Structure 1
Amino acid sequence: MNTPHPNPRATLRPIVAISSDRIERHGHPAHAALHGYVRATSEISQALPLVLPALADGLDADTLAASIDGIVLTGSPSNVSPQRYGSPSPHREMLLDIHRDAAILPLLPALVAAGVPLLAVCRGFQEVNVAWGGTLEPAVHEQSGRLDHREGDHDRPIERWYDDSHDIHLVEGGVLARLAGATRTQVNSLHHQGIERLGAGLRIEATAPDGLVEAFSIAGASQFTLAVQWHPEMRVDDSPFARAIFEAFGDACRARQQLRRRAFA
């Protein structure tokens, strides 16, 4: 009796590109992505994570759209350059990464238009807002009536930085409200910048008690698109809500994978 061979295509993972920062390593330019995003994409989304270099001349949207099943835009110590949204100069404490700006921002509208699922976190959330014509407030904590959304005591182990949290309101009927099964939850807050003006075509998914936009999706996209200002990648071990975000993203990437296979069959 012949034993049927398993179909290797049935077990192929969807391919997810993960944005990187341009850094310096031992005097050399290098590209780096934090492990939390790589791990959550691999273990929770059940996808194959591939780090996307912060190299504008080496990337093009058409090749990516034909090759990947999703994209994760990561958080970072750096910020989107104010020149990208018409602000005259960087805030005095602002760390920039102009190489990442040049690599990522031009890709996003084309990838979303091509149906690529997107999950954007922290800096990635801000990148999407800027790519859709929005603006950023560089120091939310300095604005009257705003909460201090920054990380707390830096003497704690770095994983404890992500313990700081505040309440958010989830828009009824939205992507996050469906994932949470509620209209309120707690999220870990860790950012200096925030949205000043929401980009055109972006739909609010969650707000903080001070009214700051904490999450949005892209209204015209038929696929999964979600951008959050907090850090679900750091709470996938102890937060069902954080896990649900990466699980839903993974489901969307598998659906995209099936469409891409049929298109290239």
Structure 2
Amino acid sequence: MISQQAESVRAVVGITSNRLLTDGVHRDWLRRKYVHALVRYAGVTSVILPTIDADDVDSVLPIMSRLDGLVLTGDESNIDAATLTSPASTTQTSQQDIEVGIRDRPRDRLSATAIGAAVAFGMPILGICRGLQELNVYFGGTLHASLSEWRPESGAMHAEKPYLPRDRQYDVTHGVTIRSDGVLFPIAGATEAQVNSLHNQGIEKIAAPLKPEAWTSDGLVEAASVIGATTLQIGVQWHPEWHVATDLLSKRLFKAFGEACVAHCQRNER
């Protein structure tokens, strides 16, 4: 259930999309589970932010000032750090920008532009899986190219299980420790949690402007927040959108994000 405050003011949140190239046709897409979780459990409405080609890096900026929050979604593609840290560095769109499960530079450009605007406007940010990694790279951190290369046993712990049905792949995979002096602890209400964290890349060096909020037994950072943010700006490595109807931590995370978006909306009444 969402609060009466969230019901009285319907904040608008931007959700990052991904680029899909099939049969020579470009499509922007995202899973509806993000939209459902935001509407039902954050109490906000949403707009889908389109991915960005190299010759149009400023296309998403006009809408960002009208939003009350940003969700950086997950995706199977890896982050191209050079593109995310310098989205205008190339002048032409290449078919090599997109390879299923490998790279999605149009998404990298979108995320870089959207994060910059969200930080400038002081709006809430919720990064999910790839979204946490994007925040880390944007602020100057680095990623393990593959967790299986970093530590083979850790790679197995964080990897998807393709032999399971899709919804069962997003069941709990491992535990995390939550720091007691961070912004996640008041949301979680505990220093330990079980999460459904599935990913290939992971944080190697955490960016200086980010504060680790949770980590696994192998030492990998699984949540981080923006230091000094005046609102909730956090990324988590797991997928709270997948089983939000039955998972208490997921409900609390979306509720906290929704309340932060409503507060931002009220401060900037248009």
Instruction: Report the TM-score range of the alignment, normalised by the length of the smaller protein.
Output: 0.7 to 0.9
CA deviation profile, 1:196-242 (whole Å, cap 9, x unmatched): 11112101100100110000000021111110011111120111111
Matching residue of 2:90: none
Q: Which has the larger radius of gyration?
A: 1
The normalised TM-score by structure 2 is: 0.85
Matching residue of 1:136: 143
Are the structure 2 counterparts of residues 26 and 62 from structure 1 closer, same or farther at C-alpha, using a change threshold of 3 Å? closer
The answer on 1:177 being equivalent to 2:185 is yes
CA deviation profile, 1:116-146 (whole Å, cap 9, x unmatched): 1000001111111110011110111222376
| 1:61 to partner: Cα distance | 6.6
Q: Distance in 1 between matches of 2:141 and 2:83?
A: 10
Are the structure 2 counterparts of residues 146 and 174 from structure 1 closer, same or farther at C-alpha, using a change threshold of 3 Å? farther
The answer on 1:258 being equivalent to 2:266 is yes
8 Å CA contact 2:21–2:27 kept in 1: the answer is yes
Aligned-pair identity (%): 37
The answer on 1:150 being equivalent to 2:158 is yes
Which segment drifts farther, 141-150 or 237-246? 141-150
Q: Distance in 2 between matches of 1:58 and 1:47?
A: 27
The answer on 1:115 being equivalent to 2:122 is yes
Are the structure 2 counterparts of residues 17 and 85 from structure 1 closer, same or farther at C-alpha, using a change threshold of 3 Å? closer
CA deviation profile, 1:230-258 (whole Å, cap 9, x unmatched): 11111201111111000000000000111
8 Å CA contact 2:60–2:110 kept in 1: the answer is no
Structure 2 unaligned residues grouped into runs of 5+ = 1-6, 86-99
The answer on 1:28 being equivalent to 2:36 is no
Are the structure 2 counterparts of residues 81 and 228 from structure 1 closer, same or farther at C-alpha, using a change threshold of 3 Å? same
Are the structure 2 counterparts of residues 204 and 237 from structure 1 closer, same or farther at C-alpha, using a change threshold of 3 Å? same
Q: Distance in 2 between matches of 1:236 and 1:174?
A: 22
Q: Over the residues paired in the alignment, what is the CA RMSD in angstroms?
A: 2.4
Matching residue of 1:189: 197
8 Å CA contact 2:224–2:234 kept in 1: the answer is yes
8 Å CA contact 1:151–1:161 kept in 2: the answer is no
The normalised TM-score by structure 1 is: 0.86
Matching residue of 1:215: 223
| 1:179 to partner: Cα distance | 1.2
Matching residue of 2:50: 53
Structure 1 stretches (4+) deviating beyond 4 angstroms? Answer: 58-62
Matching residue of 2:250: 242
| 1:173 to partner: Cα distance | 2.2
Aligned counterpart in structure 2 of residue 231 of structure 1, from 229, 239, 245: 239
Q: Distance in 2 between matches of 1:204 and 1:119?
A: 15
Aligned pairs, number: 249
Q: Distance in 2 between matches of 1:150 and 1:167?
A: 11
8 Å CA contact 2:13–2:70 kept in 1: the answer is yes
Q: Distance in 1 between matches of 2:197 and 2:25?
A: 33
